[in-house]
A and B are shown apart, each in its own frame.
Chain A
Amino acid sequence: MNATACPELRHLVAATGCLLALAMLSPAAASESGVAAGAAGGWWIWPLALFGICFLLGIVAVPAGVGGGVLYVPIVGGFFPFHLDFVRSAGLLVAMASALAAAPPLLRGRLADLRLALPLMLVASVTSIFGALLGLALPADVVQVALGIVVLGIVALMTFARRTDAPAAGPQGTIGTALHLSGWYRDVATGHEVQWSAHRAGWGLGLFAMIGVLGGVFGVGAGWANVPVLNLVMGVPLKVAAGTSGLILTGASASASWMYLNSGAMLPMIAVPSAIGMMLGARIGARLLRVLPAALVRRMVIGLLLFSGLRAIAKGAGIGL
């Protein structure tokens, strides 16, 4: 089914965009009356709105090629009345749950490589713990502004970064050889086996250490950073990079999630409807991936992230937006 031959799908995309916009406006307008809503017995509006928003985010995240976590924290943090401490912990749960659900089929299809993931996961897990501690210690307005800057950086990455399906092979190096950072997968499109080996492993480990800190501080899954590092720096084919990124997230997000859980920042009324909504939406998004115009959805998501990033900076700086 082709989206251009199926106007209903275009309408779905447009409706999704409108719903997202309306949903963003409604909680923002109601944020000042959040306490009143609670006192009047309307507390249930918030988990319901969260579920609905996350369901929509889950639908668009897959075709846009981004993880749910990177959409969740800036959007929910910018437009809902929840403090960023709770949003970040829920964001980690969302990212982790999505990664856990996606990992097994990717491993079976050899599009995620455990030997490649393990050293990177270990480094990112350790630094994400420190990131979580740092994030909880920093003032919220500082984290909010920094989050906005990071989101704008993600927008730039999504807009300008090139990706290589089959990057040029380079010498594997001592670390790559010792850790057996190589493998193969069967390209479904051609039916051929594709051999690959990762190089510049030292650089990769260093960059993943930084990525882990970012993930822990901001409560976002780091797929937006993992994939470019794996693909462009370490020379891993794009499909394996994307699959292995999810595998790395299962460990790194889990480490940071434990820190937020133990700190008391994991509020079920925020975290649970978010995770369930996102995972249900992602299942639909995965089915729509074949027919939705991915480029259009991606541009829509980039626009949404751009606005969310600017709003986060404005919110942290105390400027109305």
Chain B
Amino acid sequence: MATQLATRLGMVALVATFVPYAARWTPGRVAPEVLPALWTRPLRSYLERAQTGTGWQWTTSLGSGDSACLIGIAILCAASAVALLAALGVFWRGRDRISATLCIAQIGVLVVAASDALSR
């Protein structure tokens, strides 16, 4: 149930933010007509020219259409952690300590991956 809700929320957020961005109702940090000249380049070159930043910097510019789209992507990336939290409760109440420990470890890995600590 938790996974389904999170997945649906993520997909709704994707569509709700992408349509205004693609329709040019909301401006992007990178104008759509400039993208074809940039998305052929390697990531490093793209970041130098687009100046879009890395890590969680996109959260400081949610008024931009392309930044807002990342909300839905982040929700989808977090959906498995939501499901694991629900499973953790079930395992804990069932005294399945090994499975509960594995859940905690997996959530920890996702948190580390999301934290941007490793990509610096």
Contacts and interface: CB of A to CB of B under 8 A. Distances in A.
Given A129-B118, A133-B119, A272-B69, A100 B7 contact: yes
Contact of A83 (B22, B40, B98, B118): B40
Given A41-B33, A83-B41, A104-B1, A268 B76 contact: no
A262 B56 contact: yes
Contacts of A101: 7
Contacts of A121: 106
Nearest to A34: B36
A122 B110 contact: no
A122 B36 contact: no
Interface in A16-63: 34-35, 37-39, 41, 43-44, 46-47
A264 interface: yes
B118 A81 contact: no
A66 B18 CA distance: 27
A276 to B, nearest CB: 7
B37 A35 contact: yes
A261 B35 contact: no
B43 A97 contact: no
B53 A104 contact: no
Contacts of A250: 3, 79-80, 83
Contacts of A126: 109
Contact of A122 (B14, B55, B106): B106
Interface in A83-120: 83, 85-86, 93, 96-97, 100-101, 103-104, 114-115, 118-119
A39 B39 contact: no
Contact of B73 (A44, A140, A179, A268): A268
Interface in B81-114: 81, 83-84, 87, 96, 98-99, 102-103, 105-106, 109-110, 112-114
A257 B102 contact: no
Contact of B110 (A38, A86, A254): A254
Contact of B77 (A82, A96, A119): A96
Given A122-B102, A279-B11, A104 B87 contact: no
A176 B22 CA distance: 50
Contacts of B33: 38-39, 41, 43
A271 interface: yes
B63 interface: no
Given A268-B69, A275-B14, A100 B22 contact: no
A265 interface: yes
Contacts of A279: 11
A297 interface: no
Given A35-B37, A255-B110, A270-B39, A180 B98 contact: yes
A83 B14 contact: no
Given A118-B106, A264-B52, A272-B69, A254 B4 contact: no
Given A254-B110, A276-B15, 4 more contacts: A43-B35, A180-B96, A264-B43, A276-B11
Interface of A: 34-35, 37-39, 41, 43-44, 46-47, 81-83, 85-86, 93, 96-97, 100-101, 103-104, 114-115, 118-119, 121-122, 125-126, 129, 133, 136, 140, 178-180, 250-251, 254-259, 261-273, 275-276, 279
Interface of B: 1, 3-4, 6-7, 10-11, 14-15, 17-18, 21-22, 32-37, 39-43, 46-47, 52-56, 65-66, 69-70, 72-74, 76-81, 83-84, 87, 96, 98-99, 102-103, 105-106, 109-110, 112-114, 116, 118-119
